[in-house]
Amino acid sequence: MPPALADVAFNAKAMAKFLPAVLKSGIVDPTAGVKSGLATLPILARYHFTLARELEQAYATCPDRIALIDDDGTLTYRQFRDQARTIARWLQSLGLEEIHMGIMARNGRGILLPMAAKGYVGATMYLLNVGSSPEQLAGSLAENDMNVLFVDDEFLDRVPRDYPGLTVVVAHDSRGDHEDLTTERIVRNPKAVTDQKLPVFPKHGDIVLMSSGTTGIPKGVVRPEPKLPFVVAGVLENVPIHADMRTQMTASMFHTWGWSMTNICIAARHTIITQRVFDAENCLRQIEKYQATALVSSPIFYKQMMQVPGHEEYDTSSLELLASSGHALTPEIVKHTIERFGPILCNIYGSTELTLAAGASAAEIAADPTISGRVASGTRLKILDEQGREVPRGQVGRIYLHNSTSLTGYTNPDIPIERARDLIAIGDLGYLDEDSYLHVLGRADDMIIVGGENVYPKSVEEVLEAMPGVSDLAATGVDDEVTFKRIAVWIVREDSPAGESLSAESVRQWVRDNLADHSVPRDVRFVEELPRNATGKVMARFLPTG
């Protein structure tokens, strides 16, 4: 069957799963009546599956429900929708032929309002990594011809001075008295743009998410606004989201995981609770105060919450589910998370380029914490060898996949996309077991060969996580004169007698007792903390080598 026809057939099958999953979740209210149901169709036709569509639907059904609780207060769905439309009208007033809008903001209304405005006015949107250096930001602005930039004031010193043709808006004004143009000033003066008529059918530009590159200009991953969300069924099958929940959103909204889950949660008319900078104790405090029913986060943040002194004293019994993604769960994190919160931890595996690949329900994660899950509805996934041939079950290979939200390319056309059999490489190694569960072993370029044996740094991390006295750690391959490559580890000691007693030799012996000799680290370095970015990933280039 030709690839185009194969995609049609595959998406039809995905939609057959999507509709029952959505109805079961209550995201679409079957009791709303025929009139309300018919009203959905023109909203969908105008706004596709943008954040604007989600707001219009929520405004039509529950305008006075609290949509957002952030560091600046609360917004109802009515306020959220009205303020987003005001920003859209302001963007229209700039008279730009095409709007190329960058957003460099942390969680909260500073990022959400322009994200929603994008769907109303029609624009191409660039979600910029808040860890970008001045050089990286300047490169992204130039490479993508951005003409509007919403930026939190803490990042203003990274914006190039007198950048030609760029209108800068302060997305979050920490002082409340910023002299520059601010989002707050725009939304408080809607009468100034009442003469601007929003397009009936906006020209929906692409969404560009930036890869978390550590050097050079971050790769701009281009994907179109989805018309039909085939992959949503893959989330709903594994994460029991339902309508009208109260969701603590720890995942960064500029990243694929936070962006996608924010859209799903607003589509389900959730109250989203968030904070600009992650604070583990405040996260627990918010769950208790607002009786949150869901927590969307990443493994490192679950771990940090359980390291808060007296974390058991916070009442988190209102939680019905924990959704995890962003980086890999480990058996140790799964064990302690279930002990603390109950068997409600679900997992989603994907990437910036390819979004959803696989998902695992809470029951599946509790039964086997090593799995990433089953291949998601709406996703075609294969494990291929170096020649692009599919490997047998249980054999390790490179993970390739495709779905309706896969990237269409990079903003820099010179960056190649690794393809095989009409699928795209996610960059990880893994295998499918006999029960069709996906196991991910780590990044393909992280694997090293020591004495002819494959060594995965992730396996060393998983073993050392269970060692008494280890609070945090990272492992990677380093050059070696004898074997070409060896494992090195960086460890943060726990503030306890066990942590004080850790030594390089005791760490090596622990690995030796649990793994083969070629996995024993050559270098063991003790550090005060690991350099992590806003999404919780370790930035390897900042690990000390001396």
Residues 427 and 394 in one domain: yes
Residue 410's contacts (CB-CB under 8 Å, 6 or more residues apart) are 219, 220, 221, 222, 417
Q: Which pLDDT does position 541 carry in this prediction? A: 86
Residues 435 and 536 in one domain: no
Which CATH number goes with the domain that contains 414?
2.30.38.10
Residues 174 and 82 in one domain: yes
Mean pLDDT of 515-525: 95
The number of domains in the chain is: 3
| pLDDT tens figures, 401-459 | 998 778 888 999 888 899 998 899 999 999 999 999 999 999 998 999 987 889 999 99
Question: What is the residue-wise DSSP string for 265-307?
Answer: HHHTTPEEE--SS--HHHHHHHHHHHT-SEEEE-HHHHHHHHT
Mean pLDDT of 19-33: 56
Residues 435 and 521 in one domain: no
What pTM does this model have? 0.89
Beta-strand (E) ranges in 14-99?
66-70, 73-76
Structure tokens that stand for 514 in this block: 């649990």
Residue 435's contacts (CB-CB under 8 Å, 6 or more residues apart) are none
Q: Which pLDDT does position 109 carry in this prediction? A: 98
Residues 153 and 201 in one domain: yes
- Average pLDDT along the chain: 90
Residue 472 falls inside a structural domain: yes
What number of other Cβ atoms are within 10 A of residue 447's Cβ? 18
Domain of residue 180 covers 73-225
Report how far residue 179's alpha carbon sits from residue 433's, in angstroms, rounded to the nearest whole number: 59
Torsion angles phi and psi, residue 418, rounded to 5 = -80, 115
Residues 482 and 417 in one domain: no
Which CATH number goes with the domain that contains 214?
3.40.50.980
Last-in-domain residue among 157, 191, 225: 225
Amino acid, res. 86 = T
| Exposure on the CB side of residue 209, measured as CA atoms within 13 A | 23
Report how far residue 11's alpha carbon sits from residue 377's, in angstroms, rounded to the nearest whole number: 9
Angle at 173 between CA 171 and CA 177, to 5 degrees: 135
